[in-house]
């Protein structure tokens, strides 16, 4: 099997929120697709270890918020590399509630879909949740983020819990020629490329890793500068 064939699959990038009774959480997911049109339904593949998995099972509802292309890496890092069991991800995030009463993320999103859980499929490490669309709206006009854009333009990676996880996943950053050495985050695998810098965090393109202030943290997972190693 040539696993490179799997890298050719296209996805979007979403925040899936769920919960009830004041206990809410969200996570990044790329594995979301529309299943039927009439009545409308969608499916998501969620790792059984995730707090969001627990909340979907409990509340039997979830919201899919569609990320915009300009969503900063630290925002994706909060929802995609940290667990709601350890941090309250929702506390400083702008949300509203609709039909399902599950928080709809209003920051860095272009549209949302509210879903009531209908079916579950046990897939070993993951559960596929299929649900009926009960509401939804478009809340912006920015370009939605694709998984390819996240990987190849933003240099983003996926954690072990993502269905598409690949050990030593190749990124555009890892194959590009840089004027200075690249450094890799030993926690999440993000590669700092001096050609690109980290404009979301105020590090302009062309900044050598050595010249980044010590207060800088990994834009994906929040690890501090000392956790970086020569790539
Ligand atoms: C780009 C990206 C894509 C991801 N896709 C999925 C996915 O489709 N399904 C999944 O279960 N986890 C996925 N993850 C991992 C979860 O977002 C991550 O495990 C998160 O920390 C779970 O949070 P929770 O424990 O608060 O629910 C993805 C992460 C990233 C960064």
- Per-residue confidence of the chain (231 residues) as pLDDT tens digits? 998 899 899 999 999 999 999 999 999 999 999 999 999 999 999 999 999 999 999 999 999 999 999 998 889 999 999 999 999 999 999 999 999 999 999 999 999 999 999 999 999 999 999 999 999 999 999 999 999 999 888 878 788 888 888 765 544 444 445 568 999 998 888 899 999 899 888 999 899 999 999 999 998 888 899 999 998
Interatomic CA distance for residues 55 and 215, integer angstroms = 35
Q: Collapsing DSSP states into helix, strand and coil, what is residue 5?
A: helix
Nearest CA to 28 out of 220, 184, 171 is that of 220
Among 7, 24, 26, 30, the mutation site with the greatest number of ligand 1 atoms within 8 A of its Cβ is 30
In the structure, which protein residues have their CB atom closer than 6 angstroms to any atom of ligand 1?
13, 25, 27-31, 45-47, 50-52, 76, 80-85, 150, 156, 158-159, 161-163
Interatomic CA distance for residues 64 and 200, integer angstroms = 24
191-192 vs 183-185, strand pairing mode? antiparallel
């Amino acid at each position: 099997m040539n696993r490179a064939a799997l890298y050719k699959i296209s996805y979007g990038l979403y925040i899936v929120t769920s919960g009830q009774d004041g206990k809410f959480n969200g996570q990044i997911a790329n594995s979301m697709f529309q299943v039927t049109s009439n009545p409308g339904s969608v499916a998501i593949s969620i790792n059984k270890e995730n707090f969001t998995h627990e909340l979907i099972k409990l509340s039997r509802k979830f919201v899919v918020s569609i990320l915009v292309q300009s969503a900063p890496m630290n925002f994706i890092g909060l929802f995609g590399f940290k667990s709601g069991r350890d941090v309250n991800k929702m506390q400083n995030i702008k949300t509203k509630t609709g039909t399902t009463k599950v928080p709809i993320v209003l920051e860095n999103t272009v549209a949302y879909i509210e879903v009531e859980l209908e079916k579950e499929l046990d897939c070993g490490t993951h559960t596929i949740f299929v649900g009926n669309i009960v509401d939804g709206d478009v809340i912006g006009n920015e370009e939605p983020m694709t998984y390819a854009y996240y990987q190849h333009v933003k240099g983003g990676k996926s954690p072990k819990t993502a269905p598409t996880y690949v050990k030593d996943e190749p990124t555009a950053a890892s194959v590009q020629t840089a004027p200075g050495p690249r450094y890799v985050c030993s926690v999440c695998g993000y590669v700092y490329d001096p050609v690109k810098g980290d404009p979301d965090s105020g590090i302009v393109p062309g900044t050598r890793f050595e010249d980044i202030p010590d207060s800088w943290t990994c834009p994906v997972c929040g690890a501090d500068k000392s956790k970086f190693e020569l790539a």
